Amino acid sequence: MVIVAPSILASDYANLARETAAIRASGAPWAHIDVMDGSFVPNLTGGLPEVAALRRATDLTLDVHLMIARPGRYVTRFCDAGADIVTIHLEADSPENVRAALAAIRGRGKKAGLSIKPGTPAERVMEYLSECDLVLVMTVEPGFGGQSFQESMLPKLEFLRAHTSPDFYLGVDGGIDPATAALCRRSGANVLVSGSKFFDAADRTAFVRRLSQEEQG
């Protein structure tokens, strides 16, 4: 099963309750929430109040992507605010602190994710695989929406899928549309994060179906 996770970074922030209702109506089961600190990435958005408000507004799975330095300081607070999945960046802290943060997320009964930037080799994830429930491969540089998909990231998906079970969450984030989604699915991804392409779609339900459909023939 392929999961589509629309990123609310591209939504109308003045109407988040309406936008999450639109995500649910489209058939997408997850809402992806980007949190940026202006330090780990050169942008600033999202936070605990936003996650808590969205939790009150929807029963969608809240997939929170922390693009912040030293995320272990905040992971339990995001769990308590209503996140179902909390993903941190491998590059955001020391190996021991990354492990501690993943353990803290799971200790709250939530799913723990680990994300890597385009410049980070997939091999660096291997030592953490048993400690997380999701790996998110960035196909753009984190921090801004609307960037072009980097096809050179596909071998990372292939490598990671070869080392994980078929039902392990292997996600991809950045420049996802029906054409790039097909490439990612073929490379092993089963979680597709899409921002502006989803919210700009004239028929969002059809868009989700196109992203999640299996290859034919």
Judged against a pLDDT cut of 50, whether residue 143 lies above it is answered with: yes
pTM for the predicted model, two decimal places: 0.94
Residue type for position 97: N
Q: Rg of the chain's alpha carbons, rounded to an integer? A: 16
pLDDT of amino acid 216: 40
pLDDT confidence of 159, banded at 50, 70, 90? very high
pLDDT confidence of 145, banded at 50, 70, 90? low
pLDDT of amino acid 146: 63
Judged against a pLDDT cut of 80, whether residue 203 lies above it is answered with: yes
Query: What are the tens digits of pLDDT across the range 55-100?
Result: 999 999 999 999 999 999 999 999 999 999 999 999 999 999 999 9
Least Cα distance to 159 among 116, 188, 184 occurs for 188
pLDDT cut 70: percent of the chain above it: 96
pLDDT confidence of 165, banded at 50, 70, 90? very high
Q: What is the 3-state secondary structure (H, E, C) of the chain?
A: CCEEEEEHHHCCHHHHHHHHHHHHHHCCCEEEEEEEECCCCCCEECCHHHHHHHHHHCCCEEEEEEECCCHHHCHHHHHHHCCCEEEEEHHHCCHHHHHHHHHHHHHCCCEEEEEECCCCCHHHHHHHHHHCCEEEEECCCCCCCCCCCCHHHHHHHHHHHHCCCCCCEEEEECCCCHHHHHHHHHCCCCEEEECHHHHHCCCHHHHHHHHHCCCCC
Judged against a pLDDT cut of 50, whether residue 129 lies above it is answered with: yes
pLDDT of amino acid 217: 34
Active site residues: 34, 173
Structure tokens at 186: 């073929």
pLDDT of amino acid 142: 82
Query: What are the tens digits of pLDDT across the range 9-51?
Result: 889 888 889 999 999 999 999 999 999 999 999 889 889 999 9
pLDDT of amino acid 14: 87
- Of 98-107, 110-119, 143-152, where does mean pLDDT reach its minimum? 143-152
pLDDT confidence of 215, banded at 50, 70, 90? very low
Q: What is the mean pLDDT of the chain?
A: 94
Question: Whole-angstrom Cα distance, residue 89 to residue 59?
Answer: 26
7 close to 193: Cβ distance less than 8 angstroms: yes
pLDDT of amino acid 213: 85
Residue 64's DSSP bridge partners are: 33, 86
pLDDT cut 90: percent of the chain above it: 85
